[in-house]
Chain A
Amino acid sequence: SQTIHQWPATLVQPVGSPLSLECTVEGTSNPNLYWYRQAAGRGLQLLFYSVGIGQISSEVPQNLSASRPQDRQFILSSKKLLLSDSGFYLCAWTPGRYGYTFGSGTRLTVV
C-alpha cells in the first residue's frame, strides 16, 4: 500500500535561518506531488506542485522553493525564513486525477 512520510512534525526556527522540509511517498511511482501551506484558521494555499523529477511549478512567488530530486521525494526549502513563513505545511500526493493523500504535516513557527 502507498504511504506518505513528512517530517519533522514541528519546527521552531529563528528569522533568517534556512529551512528544509522533506516528503517521501512509498508504494507508488511517478506520483503528482504538492506542497500546501495552511495558516491558522484558514484554508489551504497551494505553494508548489510537481508532475515528475525536476519538474516544479510555483503557484505563489515567495520566500520558498521546492525540488524533486527523486521520483518519490519532494523537498521544500528556504534560504532565509521570514516571520510570515510560519504555518502548517502539508505535502500531498495523487496518482492522477484523484483525491489527494496528505502527509501528517509540519507545524513551523518562525520566531
Chain B
Amino acid sequence: GQQVMQIPQYQHVQEGEDFTTYCNSSTTLSNIQWYKQRPGGHPVFLIQLVKSGEVKKQKRLTFQFGEAKKNSSLHITATQTTDVGTYFCAGASGGSNYKLTFGKGTLLTVNP
C-alpha cells in the first residue's frame, strides 16, 4: 500500500533559526496536505497542495509540492517558540475513496 515517509523525525533549533521537514511518497499523489499538532493537542490542517511544482506561503511557512507529485517540503523561516509541535504531511491518492496516509511527523522543538 501507499507509504509516506517524513524526515527528520526530530528537530531542535534555536529561536530564529530556519526549519525544514521533508515528505516522500511511494506513489504519485493527487494532493498533499500538512498538519500541525501542538503537544497534547490534535492535528490542525494547515494547507493543501494539488498542482505539480506548487509553492504556497503562509507568513513564515513555505510549502512545496514536487514536480513528480511524490514529495513535498515545509520550510519555516526564523522559528518562534509558537512553532513548537509535530508537523505531519499526509498524502491522498486518486480513486473514489478519499483517505489520507500520514507520515510519522517531525517534532520541532525551539529553544528560546
A residues contacting B by CB (< 8 A) are 32, 34, 36, 42-44, 46, 49, 51, 57, 59, 90, 94, 96-105
User: Bound state CA distance, A59 and B44, in angstroms?
Assistant: 22
User: Bound state CA distance, A104 and B37, in angstroms?
Assistant: 11
Q: Pick from A36, A49, A101: contact of B45, CB below 8 A.
A: A101
User: A104 contacts B42, CB within 8 Å?
Assistant: yes
* B52 contacts partner chain A, Cβ-Cβ < 8 Å: no
Tell me whether A98 and B48 are in contact in the complex, defined as CB-CB below 8 angstroms, given that A44-B43, A90-B43, A104-B42 are known contacts: yes
Q: Pick from B6, B33, B41, B97: contact of A99, CB below 8 A.
A: B33
User: B45 contacts A42, CB within 8 Å?
Assistant: no
Chain B contact-residue range equals 20 to 34
Q: Pick from A43, A59, A105: contact of B42, CB below 8 A.
A: A105
Q: Pick from A49, A97, A102: contact of B92, CB below 8 A.
A: A97
- Complex interface: stretch among B55-63, B75-83, B102-110: B102-110
* B100 contacts partner chain A, Cβ-Cβ < 8 Å: yes
How many inter-chain residue pairs (CB < 8 Å) link A and B? 52
Task: List B63-107 residues whose CB lies under 8 Å from chain A.
Answer: 88, 90, 92, 97-105
* B27 contacts partner chain A, Cβ-Cβ < 8 Å: no
- Tell me which of B33, B42, B45, B48 has the highest count of chain A C-beta atoms within 10 A of its own C-beta: B42
User: Bound state CA distance, A96 and B60, in angstroms?
Assistant: 28
A51 surroundings in chain B (CB, below 8 A): 97-98
User: Bound state CA distance, A33 and B30, in angstroms?
Assistant: 19
* B20 contacts partner chain A, Cβ-Cβ < 8 Å: no
A104 surroundings in chain B (CB, below 8 A): 41-42
Residue ID in chain A nearest B98 by CB atoms:
A97
User: A43 contacts B97, CB within 8 Å?
Assistant: no
A99 surroundings in chain B (CB, below 8 A): 33, 35, 45, 47-48
